[in-house]
Chains A and B, each alone.
Chain A
Amino acid sequence: MYIFNAPEWFIGYDIGLELAFAVVALIVSWHAFKVYKITGQSPTKIFGISFLFISISYFLQSFLNYSIVSNLNQSICLALQLNNLIFLNTIEFYVHMVLFLLGLITLTYMTLKIKSKKTYVLLVIAIFTSTFLSSSQHYSFYFISSTLLIYIAMHYLINYLRHRQAKTLLVLFAFILLLFGSIHYFFAVNHSLFYAISHILELIAYILILINLILVTRK
């Protein structure tokens, strides 16, 4: 949960970073849909959808975290303020969790390179059931995210070994950093510094993705 995990000095910066992640993910999604329009290949469409989910999850996380910080700064009744904070915090966690997991599940489904709606639905049901029924949904969310990111990073490792290009290496590093970021969030539940480290790792990952996009789009 945001207000309990973030170090005090980092509050505010994280909101800006989450907004930046959302923008980069949205740009990736937009390019994927543009490529899909040209080629008509479904993996590109699925990739675009996954990054759209990730982008919306960051946009809403950033917006809700901003609302939490705004609430903290308002001088209203303490009990009412606490009530609002807990409510916003809970909403922030669930909204981000659902959309981010949907993004990762969709990306994992893309790496399977199969056309089976049943498999996709099964993945969604299995992952959401295990997350929501867990006694510790926070740990469960970060554990499942990390597991999915391991699988996705493996896909990009194979992709790099097949093509051995600077661009494929950039994307591989980006997903490895996203994986490390996710693992750090796991520890952020008890140590707030890990929350900041996770954000910084994610920032480097999204910068690498952005560099790759610049290399791809330049004439």
Chain B
Amino acid sequence: MNVKRERLQVIFDILRAIQDKNGKIKPTHIMYKANLSYTMLDEYLKELAGKGFITSEETKEGKFFSLSQKGFDYIHKYKYVIDFAVSFGLSE
């Protein structure tokens, strides 16, 4: 259960890092903000893009990632779950 929660937290950190940068960010910035190694970040980004949480865009300045509606929904749902669990004393 802990492993699963940590994973969900990492996904939340990545998506929130993108949201904090007005929905568009370079992968290196995500790496610092979400505190992940390059390999780990690459795996997560591929998975998130594959599942439609984020979209990538190649520009002259490099690769950028943006949040999709599904990504925004995930952030809201995650915050809702955490806030509910913490406020009602359900978190471990």
Q: Which of A110, A111, A113, A215 contacts B83 (CB 8 A)?
A: A215
Stretch at the interface among A75-83, A89-97, A143-151, A162-170: A162-170
Assess the A219–B1 pair: CB atoms within 8 A: no
**Across-interface contacts of A171 in B (CB, < 8 A):** 87-89
Stretch at the interface among A10-18, A36-44, A131-139, A189-197: A36-44
**Across-interface contacts of A219 in B (CB, < 8 A):** 76
**Across-interface contacts of A43 in B (CB, < 8 A):** 90, 92
Assess the A155–B89 pair: CB atoms within 8 A: yes
Cα A170 to Cα B87 with chains together (Å): 8
Q: Which of A32, A41, A163, A217 contacts B86 (CB 8 A)?
A: A163
- Number of A residues near B (Cβ < 8 Å) is 27
**Across-interface contacts of B85 in A (CB, < 8 A):** 35, 39, 41, 44
**Given A41-B1, A113-B92; A35-B84 close (CB under 8 Å):** yes
Tell me how far the C-beta of A115 lies from the nearest C-beta in chain B, rounded to whole angstroms: 12
Tell me how far the C-beta of A161 lies from the nearest C-beta in chain B, rounded to whole angstroms: 11
Assess the B86–A165 pair: CB atoms within 8 A: yes
Assess the B81–A39 pair: CB atoms within 8 A: yes
Assess the B84–A31 pair: CB atoms within 8 A: yes
Interface string of A31-63 (1 = CB under 8 A from B): 110010011010110010000000000000000
Cα A28 to Cα B1 with chains together (Å): 24
Tell me how far the C-beta of B52 lies from the nearest C-beta in chain A, rounded to whole angstroms: 18
Q: Which of A41, A111, A215 contacts B89 (CB 8 A)?
A: A111
Q: For the side of the interface on B, what is the size category?
A: 10 to 19
Main secondary structure of the interface of A (DSSP, over half): helix
Residue A109 lies at the interface, judged by CB distance under 8 Å to chain B = no
**Across-interface contacts of B88 in A (CB, < 8 A):** 28, 32, 47, 171, 212
Cα A127 to Cα B81 with chains together (Å): 32
Tell me how far the C-beta of B38 lies from the nearest C-beta in chain A, rounded to whole angstroms: 30
Assess the A165–B87 pair: CB atoms within 8 A: yes
Q: Which of B1, B83, B89, B92 contacts A216 (CB 8 A)?
A: B83
Of B76, B77, B81, B88, most buried by chain A (CB within 10 Å of CB) is B88
Interface string of B40-64 (1 = CB under 8 A from A): 0000000000000000000000000
Tell me how far the C-beta of A177 lies from the nearest C-beta in chain B, rounded to whole angstroms: 16
Assess the B83–A44 pair: CB atoms within 8 A: no
Assess the A217–B89 pair: CB atoms within 8 A: no
**Given A41-B1, A219-B76; A156-B81 close (CB under 8 Å):** no
9 smallest beta-carbon distances between A and B, as pairs: A167-B87, A159-B89, A216-B83, A43-B90, A35-B84, A216-B84, A35-B81, A171-B87, A212-B87
Q: Name A residues whose Cβ lies closer than 8 Å to a Cβ of B.
A: 28, 31-32, 35, 38-39, 41, 43-44, 47, 110-111, 113, 155-156, 159, 163, 165, 167-168, 170-171, 212, 215-217, 219
25 pairs, A vs B, C-beta closer than 8 Å? A32-B84, A35-B81, A35-B85, A38-B81, A39-B85, A41-B1, A41-B90, A44-B84, A44-B85, A44-B90, A47-B88, A111-B89, A113-B92, A159-B86, A163-B86, A165-B86, A167-B83, A167-B87, A168-B86, A168-B87, A170-B87, A171-B89, A212-B88, A216-B83, A216-B87
